[in-house]
């Protein structure tokens, strides 16, 4: 049996999963081949380590730690953090921008109505403002003199 064949069967040999004929052949090869014997010993070492790692268990406080982390998560989850999610922050930003545009358009319409079109003369603007104030049934600070 050559070294390549040993490489394929070594793991099965260590787990005692091979037919007795192959088992014997590997044993006789390992007795003669130093290189394969070294690999065999190293493989045995890592199988032992895996067994040792498997015997370790999780921390006895695992469940209580998970439950406390779950409690801590519930508070910010529904109060603030949902606003920080991309979809929510986009929606909130869009609403704020829409309100801003709407408010801005109302204010600018009022100013245009008060100031009149940009190509009018100052006298025309005064008359326009006066008629606007006369028609509008409310008081605008700073235009008191027009009523005199």
Partner 1 sequence: MELSEKDLTRFINKFQDRVFRTCMGFVQNSDDANDLTQDVFLAVIESLDDFRNEAQLSTWVYRIAVNKSLNHLKKRKTRNIFQNIDKLLFKKGSGEAHQFLYNPVAEDENSEEASRLLNHALRKLSQSQRVAFTLSKYDEMSNNEVAVVMGNSVSAVESLLFRAKQNMQKALRDHKF
Binding interface with partner 1 (CB under 8 A): 7-8, 10-11, 35, 39, 42-43, 45-46, 48-50, 52-54, 56-59, 62-63, 65-67, 69-70, 73
In the complex with partner 1, the residue whose CB is nearer, 56 or 148, is 56
Phi then psi for 19, rounded to 5 degrees?
A: -60, 150
Q: At closest approach, how far in Å is the CB of 44 from partner 1?
A: 9
Residue 142 to residue 140: CA distance in whole angstroms? 6
Burial class of residue 67 in the structure, from the number of CB atoms within 10 Å of its CB (0-12 exposed, 13-18 middle, 19+ buried)? exposed
In the complex with partner 1, the residue whose CB is nearer, 50 or 106, is 50
Q: At closest approach, how far in Å is the CB of 118 from partner 1?
A: 60
In the complex with partner 1, the residue whose CB is nearer, 35 or 122, is 35
In the complex with partner 1, the residue whose CB is nearer, 75 or 97, is 75
> Are 143 and 128 a contacting pair, CB within 8 Å?
no
Residue 39 to residue 91: CA distance in whole angstroms? 62
């Amino acid at each position: 049996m050559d070294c390549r064949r040993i490489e394929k069967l070594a793991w099965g040999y260590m787990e005692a999963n091979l037919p007795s004929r192959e088992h014997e052949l590997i044993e006789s090869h390992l007795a003669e081949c130093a290189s394969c014997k070294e690999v065999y010993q190293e493989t045995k070492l890592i199988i032992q380590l895996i067994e040792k790692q498997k015997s370790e268990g999780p921390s006895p406080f695992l469940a209580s730690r998970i439950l406390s982390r779950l409690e801590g998560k519930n508070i910010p989850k529904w109060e603030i953090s949902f606003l920080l999610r991309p979809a929510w922050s986009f929606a909130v930003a869009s609403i704020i921008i829409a309100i801003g545009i709407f408010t801005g358009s109302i204010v600018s319409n009022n100013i245009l109505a008060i100031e009149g079109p940009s190509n009018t003369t100052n006298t025309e603007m005064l008359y326009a403002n006066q008629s606007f104030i006369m028609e509008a049934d409310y008081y605008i600070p700073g235009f008191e003199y027009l009523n005199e």
